[in-house]
Structure 1
């Protein structure tokens, strides 16, 4: 009976991915491994499941019929597993999480590490990347996003909090260039810009009346890494626009001074995202609950 299940999951993954290469990426195996699995499945069934050309592949008539039944069979297996999991008291299995590099290292990873100590059967796989990851395409269970969310009906989002921002600089820089006492006095200062795809976005600051001001700051240095910006600011290279949770330790030591506080600088929301499904696995649920419990405290610094 077990032999009949061999290759079924790979077959369904290939059909849904549209190609052997994409399916291999999702399954974290080589393309040749996928091809060999399909070949063995076809040999066992004694039918051809795919029509293959050098450019594309398509299901045969037998392939279509087999796929429909495999999907139903896998759905039944998933339902059986969910039934078992509903009676389980602790989460288990692999949990793949993708998150922004710095926020992930400083805030998310410590929470998940504590979770793994609490639940020994939970296996964590954390990926640190500032690009927008496709959860379904790359096989992640959970994503942490800072900023705008994608418009997708396939994803579920839960708000973790608001990342407050501020503008800061080293005392040495402010001694040389002056200490701005209002948003209008930022004009002419040097800024350390965060680059997205090689471009720096304009700074927006609220004035005393709540209006939006775009300071005419000069961009001398650009980075695509927040830690590099913080290091440059500490070295006295210019003003830095940084998350408050990141500035807090440097403000306490005096290596940085706050120039514009978080109530004058627009913040960005942070969410946890996962694929929409009928049953949320316990491993995802406990991770989201832990993040909802701990992240707001970190962001309030």
Structure 2
């Protein structure tokens, strides 16, 4: 019987490989008893698996006597093919295990523009030099992406608090959100001394927030003030917001990690400093800790080492 006929069964693929490993082990062990010991199953289980395999194929694979075990001609052909299948499967598994251990392959990352430009960009060359087999696919975008649906390995997110999720998140950096205006703006429109006064000002809001026009502040005594502002500009890009604010076109509220020297040099002036600081966490978000690819693990470790607690 030709080998290709042995694989022409109309059985569904769901049980295509059933019994193959058992059959190969029986042949290599030269007995059902020895195969059962090596596979840690009972002899009856091993015998039943081979019998089910023969029934499915419609051929006898083994000649059995009380003392000897030998292959039929069909069994010989089938054994050679199955042995190759198992060797190929082991090679694939070993290759994958190797890939898990060696950081390599394409790493797809999503990161907000501000964090990417100000924090990730300065250390990226060092990461690439350290892991030359990793190919980076970086999406700098202030829009919230779907990590799983969009096929990302890691997403960096900044938030006061992340939404509940089945994803794993690791907080590696903290920042403070400031309300800011340029000196030119304050000269023209006046200095607001309380958040409630923002309703009379030119506001530039970040559109990607759930409630972009509700700005909340907490006084030192714990009293909460929610100010509902009217945006002259609603924008989903922090760089654009900073640029407009520097040009005196409005007031922004922005995490400090998006700013370089604008506050330190006085180009932007913090407002409401007598209120409690608004803390922002920066997180690495990824699908699972289990069976984490080496490329993902080394990136997480690198970012935490370079930027952790900054």
Give CA-to-partner distance per residue, 1:53-87, whole Å, 9 cap, x none: xxxxxxxx724445999xxx999667524543576
Q: Is the 8 A contact 2:213 2:228 kept in 1?
A: no
Counterpart position of 2:125? 113
- Say how many residue pairs are matched: 236
Cα separation, 1, equivalents of 2:288 and 2:107: 16
Cα separation, 2, equivalents of 1:82 and 1:141: 17
Counterpart position of 1:24? none
Counterpart position of 2:98? 84
Q: Is the 8 A contact 1:168 1:260 kept in 2?
A: no
Counterpart position of 2:12? 62
Higher Cα radius of gyration: 2
Alignment of 1:1-301 (within 5 A): 62-65=12-15, 79-81=93-95, 83-85=97-99, 88=102, 91-147=103-159, 148-153=161-166, 155-196=167-208, 200-261=212-273, 264-276=276-288, 278-296=290-308, 298=310
Q: Is the 8 A contact 2:114 2:258 kept in 1?
A: no
* Worse-matched range after superposition: 196-205 or 102-111: 196-205
Q: Is the 8 A contact 1:165 1:243 kept in 2?
A: yes
Task: Indicate the RMSD between aligned Cα atoms, in angstroms.
Answer: 3.4
Cα separation, 1, equivalents of 2:17 and 2:204: 54
How far is the alpha carbon of 1:254 from its aligned partner?
2.5
Cα separation, 2, equivalents of 1:66 and 1:260: 70
Instruction: Calculate the TM-score normalised by the size of structure 2.
Output: 0.64
Q: Is the 8 A contact 2:173 2:309 kept in 1?
A: no
- Secondary structure at the residue paired with 1:208? coil
- Secondary structure at the residue paired with 2:204? strand
